[in-house]
Amino acid sequence: MQIEKGGFKHFMLKEIMEQPVALENCMRGRVKQLVGPPDNQFTLLQRLQVLLSLEREILTSFQSAKRIIICACGTSWHAGLVGEYMLESLCKIPVEIEYASEFRYRSVVLRPDEDIVMVISQSGETADTLAALRHAKQAGCLVIGICNTVGSTIARETDGGIYLHAGPEIGVASTKAFTAQVLVLAMLALRIAQGRTIPDDEYKMLVKELSKLPSRITKILSENEAKICEIAKVYRYAHHCLFLGRGYNYPVALEGALKMKEISYIHAEGYPAAEMKHGPIALIDNLMPVVFIAMQDSIYDKVKSNIMEVRARKGCVIAITDEGNTELESLCEYVIHIPKVSECVSPILTVVPLQLLSYHIAVMRGCDVDMPRNLAKSVTTE
Ligand code: G6P
């Protein structure tokens, strides 16, 4: 049964480890190789497609939307932030990301003819997200949901949507739901962009990247756990911790910090790496672990100079970077290598070592990982 721990010590660890399967299930029937008569003209790559079964009217609405407003809470909000970057970059549609609790109480200008509101919720029951959905519907907007729990209130009340199919998530700290949410947003962005706003080659390359995600996560999980345990042992008594990333990996920095504080009770902040100069840099000393997501993407050189700034202040740097990148070793206490991947889908991989790091630190500190104090899996009250 999926709701048993299956030999793992905690649900959270089980859910981290089952991400390859969860993502496989999330893509099942959606990212596939087109079957048909053999045709030498088409390579395997050309036959991979995203076949997200969105109703035609919904797809048309997305393609003609002037703006998409994403509302969510917690980890789902972080996935939504990645979604904002993806939809703007791949689909060229302006996107706003809103905390559901703010959206519902401030005077957001909603234009039903131009705006689509998208709500993201693992449980489908979060009170603020549900209220945001109702508010948007009342204003006459089309509301689309991305949920994990089939038949949940949010799933039932939206005009249409996409399920994660990631399986039940029991651990209070969300893990597989985040990676599946980002995957669904990537599939959606590709579906909207296909033949319109991205070149065919880029589309095919990205679909192929999606299909490889499960095996790449398996690799990260099997190759890095020992090193992550070692890092956890060294930093388990830290009082504060900083997570920094830029571009697509800024939301991952936020998510890494959230995981850390949720389950280990270490004060952690996530920041866009360059914003560090405007505050967090004052906190850095030789006791402060600073986790950088430093993939070799379009903004890598900038992130590298941010790492140097931290080093100059004696901060202890832990970096997540691409396999084969050896130049960070001399600048960092620890470097975790993960498979190279396209920038826009990299959050699905870069978050995985951060999940494991917070998990192991929390276990070593004797925290109740699955039921952290004061938190609930689903917040159904305001
Ligand atoms: C709670 C949970 C988080 C979750 C958030 C939003 O705070 O502890 O893990 O991200 O609610 O939940 P939802 O079910 O709407 O995604």
Residue 268's pLDDT is: 97
pTM over 0.90: yes
Closest C-alpha residue for ligand 1 atom 15: 121
CB 74 near ligand 1, within 6 Å: yes
Closest C-alpha residue for ligand 1 atom 8: 377
Centre of ligand 1 from the C-alpha of residue 173, in Å: 8
Centre of ligand 1 from the C-alpha of residue 80, in Å: 13
291: β partners: 243, 318
Average pLDDT score over residue span 70-90: 98
CB 179 near ligand 1, within 6 Å: no
ipTM above 0.95, yes or no: yes
Q: Are 376 and 74 in contact (CB under 8 A)?
A: no
CB 372 near ligand 1, within 6 Å: no
Q: Are 69 and 52 in contact (CB under 8 A)?
A: no
Radius of gyration (Cα) for the chain, nearest Å? 20
Closest C-alpha residue for ligand 1 atom 5: 74
Query: Between β-strands 334-338 and 316-322, what pairing exists: parallel, antiparallel or unpaired?
Result: parallel
Q: Are 285 and 314 in contact (CB under 8 A)?
A: yes
92-119 pLDDT per residue, tens:
999 999 999 999 899 999 999 999 999 9
For residue 49, what pLDDT band results from cuts at 50, 70 and 90?
Answer: low
Among 15, 118, 123, 351, name the best residue to mutate to test ligand 1's pocket (greatest count of ligand atoms within 8 A of Cβ). Answer: 123
CB 172 near ligand 1, within 6 Å: yes
Q: What is the distance between the alpha carbons of residues 317 and 24, in angstroms, rounded to a whole number?
A: 33
Average pLDDT score over residue span 295-319: 95
Per-residue HEC secondary structure of 102-137 comes to: HHCCCCCCCCCCCEEEEEEECCCCCHHHHHHHHHHH
Q: How far is CA 52 from CA 49, 170, 191, 195, in A?
A: 9, 27, 7, 15
Residue 45 has pLDDT above 70, yes or no: no
360-364 LR contacts (CB < 8 Å, sep 24+): 360/228, 360/229, 360/232, 361/232, 361/235, 361/236, 361/260, 361/264, 361/266, 362/263, 362/264, 363/9, 363/10, 364/232, 364/233, 364/236
Centre of ligand 1 from the C-alpha of residue 277, in Å: 30
Q: Are 318 and 185 in contact (CB under 8 A)?
A: no
Among 15, 76, 78, name the best residue to mutate to test ligand 1's pocket (greatest count of ligand atoms within 8 A of Cβ). Answer: 76
CB 379 near ligand 1, within 6 Å: yes
CB 101 near ligand 1, within 6 Å: no
What average pLDDT does the chain have? 93
Residue 41's pLDDT is: 47
170-194 pLDDT per residue, tens:
999 999 999 999 999 999 999 999 9
CB 76 near ligand 1, within 6 Å: yes
CB 186 near ligand 1, within 6 Å: no
Residue whose structure tokens are 């957001």 = 108
Most confidently modeled range among 20-24, 38-42, 285-289: 20-24
Average pLDDT score over residue span 34-45: 50
Residue 232 has pLDDT above 70, yes or no: yes
Give the strands of the sheet with 267-272, arranged side by side.
267-272, 240-245, 289-293, 316-322, 334-338
CB 73 near ligand 1, within 6 Å: yes
CB 375 near ligand 1, within 6 Å: yes
Q: What is the distance between the alpha carbons of residues 102 and 193, in angstroms, rounded to a whole number?
A: 30
Centre of ligand 1 from the C-alpha of residue 252, in Å: 16
**What letter does residue 282 receive in the DSSP assignment?**
G
For residue 33, what pLDDT band results from cuts at 50, 70 and 90?
Answer: low
- Taking alpha carbons only, the member of 334, 328, 238 closest to residue 286 is 238
Residue 6's pLDDT is: 84
